[in-house]
Amino acid sequence: MSNSEKTTRERPKQRRIPFLMRATFAGLTIALTSLWALTVSYDISREELLGFLLGSVLLLLGVLLTAALLVSLIKVMAWLISRTKKPAAEDEKLKD
């Protein structure tokens, strides 16, 4: 029996935690551990750290909101353009 056959047969069909969720948890764990190491090594106060974290979260939320609005705007513009071109194509069919 080859190694690939052995691993595919023993591999679970469905994992308990999806890959993206595991990657997210790992990233958050690494980020929190890094922040803890920085606060210990540079003796940063809890208030400064909370202010930094709050500012970072607000910045990320602003970027996500701006991206969502930009995508929505592009989708609406594309939909409006397709709606304005559609009657012109129907008029050409009626002329023929």
Amino acid 65: pLDDT: 97
Count of C-beta atoms within a 10 Å radius of residue 38: 13
The pLDDT score that the predictor gives to residue 62 is 96
Number of domains in the chain: 2
Contact by Cβ (8 Å): 38, 44? yes
pLDDT digit string (tens) for the chain, length 96 residues: 455 555 555 666 667 778 889 999 999 999 989 988 888 888 888 899 889 889 999 999 999 999 999 999 999 999 999 988 876 556 566 665
Same domain, 9 and 50: no
| pLDDT for the residue 68 | 97
Residue numbers of the domain that contains 11:
1-44
* 19 and 8 co-located in one domain: yes
> Is 20 in the same domain as 53?
no
Containing 15, the helix (H) or strand (E) segment is none
